[in-house]
Amino acid sequence: MKNETVIEVGDRHIREVNEDLQKACLAGLPSRVVNTLSRHNLGIGLPPNVTMHFEGSVGYYCGGLNTGATITIERNAGWALGEGMAGGHITVGGYAGMSAGAAMIDGTIHIKGDTGPRCGVAMKGGNIVVEGKIGYQSGFMAHAGKIIALGGAGASCADALWEGEVWVAGEIESLGVDVNVVEPTAEEVAEVDLILDPLGLKDTSREWRKLVSGQRLWYFESRDANAWLMI
């Protein structure tokens, strides 16, 4: 692409690679990152209004602390994709490992394959859209935001939710602790469709299950362990 910066990863020190990525951002140029070798900690803390494309697969923490960049990853991503991101958009062409979107505050993560365990753990806002299946205990202690799974969910789904929501189309292996399954309103479904539509994923024929907190853990009394064990 014309006016594109090409940055080699290979066996270079990851700090040097990220310094080059930040320089490209300051220059306002889109970046293509090549020979990624599934290296960890790529593209950390990227600024708003930049575009970055990673060829191949990346390792742990790619796109962490993103503040508004648009990031695409051709293949797979390791653990903690987009951890703590405050804005922007991350797209993964394949699978994403454990804790994708952990503690994210805002923005959108779009994963075209499946995810590992605890997708969206402790997320504080934003949206995670997974075209495949979300793994074990996804949504664990999500405080806000939406996890939208189009291909089902693993065991202990939405365990110990706060005010986050997990939307699932497809089979759920089992529910986590203190979860209610509710019928979404037409207005709520329309909100989800607004998230899916720009991704080309809107489908009005889906049968959604919306998972929310049962709120019993919100008022947990530590001296009453039997009540907690019976939830």
CB < 8 Å & 24+ apart, contacts of 161-166: 161/211, 161/212, 161/213, 162/213, 162/218, 163/213, 164/120, 164/123, 164/139, 165/210, 165/211, 165/212, 166/120, 166/134, 166/138, 166/139, 166/142, 166/210, 166/211
CATH number of 5-229: 2.160.20.60
User: Average pLDDT for residues 122-126, to the nearest whole number?
Assistant: 98
pTM for the full predicted model: 0.95
Q: How confident is the model at residue 220 (pLDDT cuts 50, 70, 90)?
A: low
How large is the average pLDDT for residues 176-186? Answer: 95
In the chain, domain spans:
5-229
d(CA 113, CA 98): 13
Q: Residue 38: its pLDDT value, please?
A: 97
What are the φ and ψ backbone dihedral angles of 200, each rounded to 5 degrees? 75, 25
Pull the structure tokens for residue 10. 């290979």
Q: Nearest-CA neighbor of 186 among 163, 168, 213, 210?
A: 210
Q: What is the pLDDT of residue 3?
A: 82
Decide: residue 124, CB within 10 A, 0-12 exposed, 13-18 middle, 19+ buried: middle
What's the pLDDT score for residue 74?
98
Q: Higher pLDDT residue, 195 or 225?
A: 195
Q: What is the mean pLDDT of residues 54-74?
A: 98
- φ/ψ (deg, to 5) at 190: -65, -35
Counting residues of the chain whose pLDDT is more than 90, the rounded percentage is 90
CA–CA separation, 110 vs 90, rounded Å?
A: 6
- Give yes or no for residue 226 having a pLDDT over 90: no
Q: What are the pLDDT digits (tens) for 150-165?
A: 999 999 999 999 999 9
Average pLDDT over residues 136-162: 97
**C-alpha closest to that of 48 among 69, 23, 30:** 69
Q: Residue 221's pLDDT band (boundaries 50, 70, 90)?
A: low
The radius of gyration computed from the CA coordinates of the chain, to the nearest angstrom, equals: 18
Is the pLDDT assigned to residue 149 strictly greater than 60? yes
Which two structure tokens, joined as six digits, stand for 120?
Answer: 């969206």
Phi/psi class of residue 49: alpha, beta or left (left: φ > 0; alpha: ψ in -120 to 50)? left
Q: What is residue 219's predicted lDDT score, i.e. its pLDDT? A: 77
